[in-house]
Each structure stands twice: as structure tokens, then as C-alpha cells.
Amino acid sequence: MNRRRCVTAAITVVCALSVLTSPALLNQAYAAPASPASPASPASPSSPSSPASPSDPPVAPRPFDRTLPPGADGKSSGADDSKLEAVRRKIDGLYGQATSATDAYNLAEERADNQSAELVRLSSEIVNGQVRIDRLKRQAGAAARAQYRAGGLPPEAQLLLTDDPQLFLDGAGRVQRGQKATKDLLGQMTKAQDDLTSYTKKAGAEWTKLEASRVKQAKAKKEINEKIKAAKKIEAGLEKEERDRLLMLEQQDLAKAQEAWLGSGALKDINGEASAQGKKAIAYATAQIGKPYVWGAEGPASFDCSGLTSEAWRAAGKVIPRTSQEQWRLLPRVPVSEMRPGDLIIYHQDASHVGMYVGDGSIVHAPRPGRQVTLTGAGSMLILGVVRPDK
């Protein structure tokens, strides 16, 4: 009996263990406490087969991510813009110095051309003066030979030796005329000699000036090339995205200055109309939009700032000075409030830049090396004053 009970108990224990260790029961037991299914979480960044989520932090900090737009890497672009702004100021400073040197070069070139023309004129005067002196010398020689043929006596002595009263009177008239002719001849010879000496001195002075202008021209050319080379070297060290951003910062700065100028009410009283010549000058200048800035160029394929304005007014039938500084110095000035299309706006304290006002608060100008002839706000740069070529 006891043995049967022990066997029965053993069988009961074995059955219970079999039930408890079955896979179905185990799965149910482990699944029971699970919470309701939640959305799948993003894959771990360490998984090589799953792309990183946009919200994941970058692996390493980058000062300027050239593959992403500013701010896309989770950082502000302010620090990068401030670095680019410093680069832009450096480049603008170099190009500004090149522009000033360009004006000095153009002025030296203009003066050299004028001095060369003056030298040609003086050389012609020297040749003509020498020819005149030679002619007067021949006349004086002819008078001396005539006196020799008359026995070597001067006309006054021959007159005193005559016994005929009529011959005396006739001779007296001839003597007076001869004396006047001799005096005139000597006066002409003296003046011709003085003129020749003066022309020679002037020619020497003009030659000295010409050489000085050529030295200034060569010095300015060297400075221009050095400044442009330095600016281009800086720009070449930038990536395309940085250069694009640099241009954007430049445009933003110009737009900000223009907005401030317009906000000052500068255009409130400006409503003048272009003259007939002014319209022709504007038509020429705006037709050059898109052509490159090249220092010292005055068309037709490229221009610098004053080359554009001087050629535009030449096309309108008015010859004006070649450089922005000479345009400011020599052309009639008008108040900004009386400005009209066709007028020239001179910029910066050294008058190193010029643009043509075309109306509606805009100018057409050739900005600097690396840029093209374009339209921009008239107040986007520091205005020195306004001149009117056809006033």
C-alpha cells in the first residue's frame, strides 16, 4: 500500500513538471507581463546598416561644414559669417587700394598723353622757329650784300653825297623805309630767337613731367597688380560655397546701406529728368551690363569705373575727364537733392569710385576686379558728391 502511494506520488510530480516545462506555457508566462507594443525606436548610430537620424549629434565638431547649408549641422552660422566677414573686409580693402591706385594710374596716363601731345606741339614750334630764323638771316644777308654792291657805304652816306635835291628827297624816303625794314627785321630775328629758346625750355620741362608721369604710372601699375594678386590669392583659398557666401554677405551689406540711405528720405525730392545727352549716356552705360571690370579699361569689352562713365558720356557727345578724381575736381557739382539720371555720383573720401545715376535710386557702375558692370543702389556706398557733365 505504501509502495503504491509512493509510485502514485512520483507519477503526479513527473506529470506536473512536464506541464510546467512545456514551450507553450513558458511563452505565455514570459509574454504576460509585456506592455502594449510601442513604435519602433530609431536604429542605433553604431549600426552600419542603418542611416543616422537627422537628430543625431555630429560625430565631431566642424568649424564650417562645406557640405551643408549654414545651421544644418545644428550650429549657428554666426561664427562662420564673422570669419568670412573678416575675409571680406580684407579683400575689399585690397581691392579698394587697387581702385585708388587705378585712378592714380589713369591720371598719370592721361597726363602723359597730354604731355606727349604738348611735346609734339612744342617740337613743331621749334622747327618752325628755326625755319623763320633761317629766313630772316637770309634777308639780312641779302641787305648786306646789296650794301656791299653799292660801294660799302650806308644809304645815309650815299644820300649826303648827292647834289640833286630831288634825288636827295627820294633818297631820304628810301633811307627811312630801309631803316624801318632793318629795324623790323632785327626785331623779328630777336623775337624768333626768344621764341625758339622759350619753346626749347618748355619742351625740356614737359619732357621732365612726362618722365615723372611715366614713373608714377609704372609705380601705380605695380601696386595695382600686387593688390589684385593678393586679393585673388585669398579668394582662391576659399571653397566655392564660401565664395558664394562671401558674395551674399557683400550684397547684404550693400542692401543694408541702401535701405538706410532710402530711409533717410534721400529720394524724397529727387525727381529730375535726364537731358537728351544724359539719356544717350545712360543707354550706353546700361548696354555694358555684364561686362567684366578690368583696371585701366575703357571698353569696348571691359571697363573700370571711370572708364565706363567717361566712355558713356563720350558716346553722348561730351568729352569728360578720364578719372573719377578728375571728374569730381573739374565737372560742375550739384546737390544730391537735385540729382537727375545721367549725373555721376562720386564715392568715398578720396573720390576713388564713380557710378552713373539711372533713376529710382539706382546706379550703373563697374564695381571692382572680379565683378561685372551692374546695377546697384545709389546709396550702397559712401557718397562724396554729384557732378553733372552737361551742366
Active-site position among 6, 15, 305, 348: 305
From the list 105, 115, 114, 118, the residue with the least C-alpha distance to 307 is 105
- β-sheet with 344-347: strand ranges across: 333-334, 383-387, 344-347, 353-359, 362-365, 374-377
Quote the CA–CA distance of 305 and 296 in Å, as a whole number.
9
Question: Which helix or strand (DSSP H or E) is residue 239 part of?
Answer: none
**Is 348 among the catalytic positions?**
no
C-alpha cell of residue 24: 507553450
Let me know the angle formed at the C-alpha of 150 by 146 and 152, rounded to the nearest 5 degrees. 90
- DSSP-derived 3-state class of residue 269: coil
Q: Which of 6, 15, 348, 365 is catalytic?
A: 365
Dihedral pair phi/psi, residue 293, rounded to 5°: -80, 130
* Helices marked H in 49-164: 78-149, 155-160
Active site residues: 305, 353, 365
